[in-house]
């Protein structure tokens, strides 16, 4: 029986700004099963980060979230700060693109790790130190004893991100939300970190949300993938379906314009014309319609719901086929 | 094939870095670039890849004389740029341009798109009338896919992709012959990235540009380059025609880089073997003896620590610096 560890339902995030409201996240429902990696892909501004900032209670002051996000017995959207603090960094951990957001600049990295263990797991200094060094070794930091005494600025970007990952894993979280964890890293270091996440998932049943704009990164790690566009999930399917049989024109477009190392180079790369919409002035109907090659009248008038049609997707093309029984 | 237009010989950029001695300063040279040589023909694109800190940007800037080389020479159409005075260099610069990584940060926020694109014209064609300048700018905007009606807008009113088009328009307005693109699409979204790559390739062909395309993205580099150079700690590890480099890489570092590129295909991504690289990039202040890659190389032997590998030629136009290149052939 698969166990849902995170269940987001009808999440909406709005930001109040001087020139109107920003519809950053609209009607998003997603879940993560135990030991599963959910990939979230989409272009800049599509709402990937804000979806999970809302879940973690980290929205900016001008932001407001509605809906629910069940994590075990807690609804994270309704929980008070005290409850959130006992969950975050403990059962629910986060890793961001810039490791410095998670590290304190003037504190030795070892101390930053032991502090988490002392706070959340009540360990004494000696036991915490041993545990921290062991975790550093587990995320493949060579010479962990020596690195333990270093300051963040003395480490390379890749090592810092491994420290952050070690910190995220210290309390054996059920779920790690990783927002572009490898985007700033070299491919060689990225590959190491993704291997590590895969091992944790497979050996320890850790669940992951992997937010990225890089389809190659989700292909290697995710079990399921949600594609976001203009604040909405437009397709949600198994990783195999997303790559082999995507149904939404936006997903197809994204895949087509990602150059592959294995394809013979062509004269012209396929593109998606135009650019993502302004969230303050969303297009009518399907938000993707100004860029969609398959657009027809209904798309401008009506918004397609996320519904079954080959995959779970938000495109009339697939829904009408399904309704007609021809799928 | 056309003639060689750019010749880079043994180019070195060393920065003195203070490494101790509070009163009597002790300086160690940081070898950001350490003896790189290559030639380029008119209309040819050289891709430059390698991890961050390997010297890619330093190479691009040193070729354009935007920073002073410590040693070696750069010759453009037979003229040695490294020997020119400031005035002569300014004249040569007219034909050389650079496109930067961060689209918004590389544009002056107080200037309109039109003024930004016209800037090289004001510098190099001071006699040109305002009206002619404006019409040239508008033509260029159309060419890079910007609506000429946007000529009076400011950078913050454009998207990242549009800002990069402004940067490209500025670089192209004087009809340059040599363009260095330093991570020009890294900050762009996937769909926009493809648009800008197409634009660069189209301009490159139409204007017969000689291009140096610096990127950490090996898939894009494969798409856009005729030849590819792999750098590590300021030194060339391998340089080869595009197809040879991707199909028959001989340097263990090239092989490791290629094996780490994420593949947007789950079955391939999970099945293919990776070549893990041990440890981290060594400090450029204290590079390893012999082959600089040896501390991370899965094939390193005693000879690698003792001797700097010589330049070897596995094929036509294919150079590699590795003692064991004969044993590194990988099955396709
Ligand atoms: N405090 C805020 N006030 C107003 N708008 C905001 C605020 N924070 C985020 N937004 C907007 O919310 C939208 C969604 O942003 P989000 O960060 O989730 O995008 P993303 O998909 O993570 O993009 P990226 O790939 O660039 O990280 C964006 O248009 C962003 O500008
Ligand atoms: S609903 Fe219409 S516009 Fe939207 S993706 Fe489908 S075909 Fe395109
Ligand atoms: S010379 Fe030796 S250490 Fe250097 S790349 Fe070749 S095998 Fe590896
Ligand atoms: Mg984000």
Alpha-carbon distance of B106 to B102, in angstroms, equals: 6
- Kindly report the nearest CA distance between residue A26 and chain B, in angstroms: 21
Residue B185, chain A, CB below 8 Å: the answer is no
Best residue of B145, B266, B274, B285 to probe chain A, by most A CBs closer than 10 Å = B266
Please state the φ and ψ torsions of residue A25, each to the nearest 5 degrees: -140, 130
Per-residue pLDDT band at A327 (split at 50, 70, 90): very low
Q: Please, are residues A229 and A246 in contact by the beta-carbon 8 Å criterion?
A: no
Task: Tell me the three state secondary structure of residue B203.
Answer: helix
Per-residue confidence (pLDDT) for residue B330, from 0 to 100: 67
DSSP state of B325: G
The ligand 2 atom at the shortest distance from the C-alpha of residue A304 is 1
Mean pLDDT in residue range A204-229: 95
Question: Is residue B110 a part of any domain in this protein?
Answer: no
Residue B222 vs residue A263, higher pLDDT: B222
Alpha-carbon distance of B99 to B21, in angstroms, equals: 40
CB nearest B260 (choices: A159, A190, A271) = A190
- B125 burial via Cβ count (<10 Å: 0-12, 13-18, 19+): middle
Question: Is residue B125 a part of any domain in this protein?
Answer: no
The ligand 1 atom at the shortest distance from the C-alpha of residue A97 is 27
Question: Is residue B123 a part of any domain in this protein?
Answer: no
Question: Is residue B84 a part of any domain in this protein?
Answer: yes
A213 and B266 within 8 Å at the Cβ level: the answer is no
B258 and A260 within 8 Å at the Cβ level: the answer is no
Token pair of B179, please? Answer: 């363009």
Query: Per-residue pLDDT tens for A260-271?
Result: 887 777 778 899
- Domain total for chain B? 1
Per-residue confidence (pLDDT) for residue B41, from 0 to 100: 96
Say yes or no: CB of residue A295 within 6 Å of ligand 2.
Answer: yes
Question: Is residue B103 a part of any domain in this protein?
Answer: no
Q: In this prediction, what percent of chain A has a pLDDT beyond 90?
A: 70
Give the global pTM: 0.90
Alpha-carbon distance of A281 to A292, in angstroms, equals: 18
Per-residue confidence (pLDDT) for residue B24, from 0 to 100: 66
**Mean pLDDT of the residues in chain A:** 91
In A, minimum Cα distance to B296 occurs at: A188
- Choose one of B322, B326, B328 to mutate for the ligand 3 pocket test, by most ligand atoms within 8 angstroms of C-beta: B322
What CATH number has the domain bearing residue B57?
A: 3.40.50.300
Which of A150-164, A221-235, B44-58, B180-194: highest mean pLDDT?
A: A221-235
Pocket of ligand 3 (CB under 6 A): B 251-252, 291, 293-294, 297, 299-300, 304, 309, 322-324
- Choose one of A46, A215, A218 to mutate for the ligand 1 pocket test, by most ligand atoms within 8 angstroms of C-beta: A46
CB nearest B216 (choices: A186, A192, A253) = A186
Per-residue confidence (pLDDT) for residue B1, from 0 to 100: 52
Alpha-carbon distance of A67 to A77, in angstroms, equals: 7
Per-residue pLDDT band at A120 (split at 50, 70, 90): confident
Radius of gyration of chain A (CA): 21
Name the helix (H) or strand (E) containing A128: helix A125-138
- Number of alpha helices (DSSP H) and beta strands (DSSP E) in chain A: 12, 12
Question: Is residue B156 a part of any domain in this protein?
Answer: no
Question: Is residue B117 a part of any domain in this protein?
Answer: no
Whether A322 shows a pLDDT value over 70: the answer reads: no
Mean pLDDT in residue range A191-211: 91
Alpha-carbon distance of B239 to B149, in angstroms, equals: 44
Residues of A in contact with B246 (CB under 8 A): 261
**Residue of minimum CA distance from atom 2 in ligand 1:** A15
Strand partners for B27: B18
Per-residue confidence (pLDDT) for residue B22, from 0 to 100: 64
Query: Per-residue pLDDT tens for A239-261?
Result: 999 999 999 999 999 999 988 88
How many CB pairs below 8 A link A and B?
125
Whether A105 shows a pLDDT value over 50: the answer reads: yes
Closest CA to A216 of A265, A258, A186: A258
In B, minimum Cα distance to A41 occurs at: B190
Per-residue confidence (pLDDT) for residue B12, from 0 to 100: 96
Radius of gyration of chain B (CA): 21
Q: Please, are residues B213 and B60 in contact by the beta-carbon 8 Å criterion?
A: no
Question: Is residue B158 a part of any domain in this protein?
Answer: no
Per-residue confidence (pLDDT) for residue A126, from 0 to 100: 94
The residue whose two tokens read 């935007």 is B66
Alpha-carbon distance of A58 to A13, in angstroms, equals: 12
Token pair of A253, please? Answer: 């477009």
CA of B6 to the centre of ligand 3 (A): 29
Mean pLDDT in residue range A53-58: 94
Mean pLDDT in residue range A49-71: 96
The ligand 3 atom at the shortest distance from the C-alpha of residue B297 is 8
Centroid of chain to Cα A92: 13
Contacting residues for B252 by C-beta, under 8 A, at least 6 apart: B275, B293, B297, B298, B299, B322, B324, B328
CA of A187 to the centre of ligand 1 (A): 26
CA of A179 to the centre of ligand 4 (A): 7
Q: Which domain holds residue B37?
A: 4-95+177-185+211-327
- Kindly report the nearest CA distance between residue A16 and chain B, in angstroms: 20
CB nearest A257 (choices: B190, B257, B280) = B190
Per-residue confidence (pLDDT) for residue B5, from 0 to 100: 96
Sheet holding A37-41, edge to edge: A92-95, A175-179, A207-212, A37-41, A224-229, A232-238, A311-313, A307-309
Per-residue pLDDT band at A320 (split at 50, 70, 90): low
Residue B283, chain A, CB below 8 Å: the answer is no
Query: Per-residue pLDDT tens for A137-174?
Result: 888 888 899 999 999 998 888 889 889 989 998 988 99
Query: Per-residue pLDDT tens for B92-136?
Result: 999 999 998 887 788 999 999 999 999 999 999 999 999 999 999
Query: Per-residue pLDDT tens for A296-308?
Result: 999 999 999 999 9
A195 and B192 within 8 Å at the Cβ level: the answer is no
Whether B260 shows a pLDDT value over 80: the answer reads: yes
Whether A85 shows a pLDDT value over 80: the answer reads: yes
Per-residue pLDDT band at B157 (split at 50, 70, 90): confident
Best residue of A146, A191, A225 to probe chain B, by most B CBs closer than 10 Å = A191
Per-residue confidence (pLDDT) for residue B332, from 0 to 100: 46
Selected residues 230-269 of chain A with any CB under 8 Å from a CB in chain B: 239-240, 243, 253-255, 257-262, 265-269
The ligand 2 atom at the shortest distance from the C-alpha of residue A296 is 2
The ligand 2 atom at the shortest distance from the C-alpha of residue A299 is 2
């Amino acid at each position: 029986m698969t166990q849902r560890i995170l269940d987001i339902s009808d999440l909406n995030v709005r930001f109040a700004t001087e020139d109107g409201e920003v519809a950053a996240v609209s009607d998003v429902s997603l879940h993560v099963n135990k030991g599963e990696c959910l990939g979230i892909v989409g272009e800049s501004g599509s709402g990937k980060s804000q979806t999970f900032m809302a879940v973690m209670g980290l929205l900016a002051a001008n932001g407001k979230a509605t809906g629910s996000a069940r994590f075990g017995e807690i609804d994270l959207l309704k929980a008070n700060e005290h409850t959130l603090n006992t969950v975050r960094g403990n059962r629910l951990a986060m890793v961001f693109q810039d490791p410095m957001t998670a590290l304190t600049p003037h504190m030795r990295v070892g101390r930053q790790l032991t502090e988490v263990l002392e706070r959340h797991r009540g360990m004494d200094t000696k036991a915490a130190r041993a545990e921290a060094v062991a975790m550093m070794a587990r995320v493949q930091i060579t010479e962990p004893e020596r690195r333990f005494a270093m300051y963040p600025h003395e480490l390379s970007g890749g090592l810092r991100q491994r420290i952050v990952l070690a910190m995220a894993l210290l309390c054996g979280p059920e779920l790690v939300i990783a927002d572009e964890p490898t985007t700033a890293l070299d491919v060689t270091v990225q590959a190491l970190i993704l291997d590590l996440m895969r091992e944790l998932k497979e050996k320890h049943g850790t669940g992951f949300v992997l937010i990225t704009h890089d389809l190659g990164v989700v292909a290697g790690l995710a079990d399921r993938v949600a594609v976001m566009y203009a604040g909405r999930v437009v397709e949600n399917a198994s990783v195999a379906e997303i790559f082999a049989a995507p149904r939404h024109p936006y997903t197809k477009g994204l895949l087509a314009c990602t150059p592959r190392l294995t394809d013979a180079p062509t004269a012209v790369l396929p593109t998606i014309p135009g650019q993502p919409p302004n969230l303050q002035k969303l297009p009518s109907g399907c938000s993707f319609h100004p860029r969609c090659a398959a657009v027809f009248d209904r798309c401008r008038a009506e918004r397609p719901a996320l519904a079954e049609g080959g995959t779970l997707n938000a495109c009339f093309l697939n829904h009408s086929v399904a309704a007609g029984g021809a799928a | 094939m056309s003639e060689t237009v750019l010749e880079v010989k043994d180019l070195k950029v060393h920065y003195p870095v203070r490494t101790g001695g509070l009163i009597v300063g002790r300086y160690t040279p940081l070898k950001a670039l350490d003896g790189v040589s290559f030639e380029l023909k008119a209309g040819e694109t050289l891709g430059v890849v390698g991890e961050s800190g390997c010297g890619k940007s330093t190479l691009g800037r040193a070729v354009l004389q935007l920073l002073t080389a410590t040693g070696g020479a750069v010759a453009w159409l037979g003229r040695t740029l490294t020997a020119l005075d400031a005035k002569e260099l300014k004249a040569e610069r007219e034909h050389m341009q650079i496109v930067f990584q961060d689209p918004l940060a590389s544009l002056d926020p107080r200037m309109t798109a039109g003024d930004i694109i016209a800037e090289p014209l004001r510098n190099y064609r001071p006699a040109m009338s305002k009206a002619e300048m404006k019409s040239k700018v508008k033509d260029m905007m159309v060419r890079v896919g910007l609506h000429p009606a946007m000529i009076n807008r400011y950078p913050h009113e454009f998207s990242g992709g549009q800002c990069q088009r402004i940067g490209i328009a500025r670089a192209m307005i004087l009809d340059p012959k040599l363009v260095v693109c330093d991570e020009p699409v890294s900050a762009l979204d996937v769909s926009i990235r493809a648009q800008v790559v197409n634009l660069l390739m189209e301009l490159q062909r139409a204007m017969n540009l000689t291009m140096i395309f610096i990127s950490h993205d090996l898939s894009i580099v494969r798409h856009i380059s005729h030849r590819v150079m792999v750098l590590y700690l300021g030194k060339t590890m391998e340089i080869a025609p595009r197809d040879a480099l991707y199909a028959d890489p001989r340097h263990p570092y090239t092989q490791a880089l290629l094996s780490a590129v994420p593949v947007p295909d789950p079955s391939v991504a999970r099945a293919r073997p990776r070549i893990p690289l041990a440890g981290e990039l060594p400090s450029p202040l204290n590079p390893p003896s012999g082959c600089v890659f040896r501390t991370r190389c899965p094939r390193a032997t005693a000879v690698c620590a003792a001797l700097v590998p010589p330049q070897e030629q596995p094929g036509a136009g294919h150079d590699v610096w590795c003692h064991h290149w004969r044993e590194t052939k990988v099955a396709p």
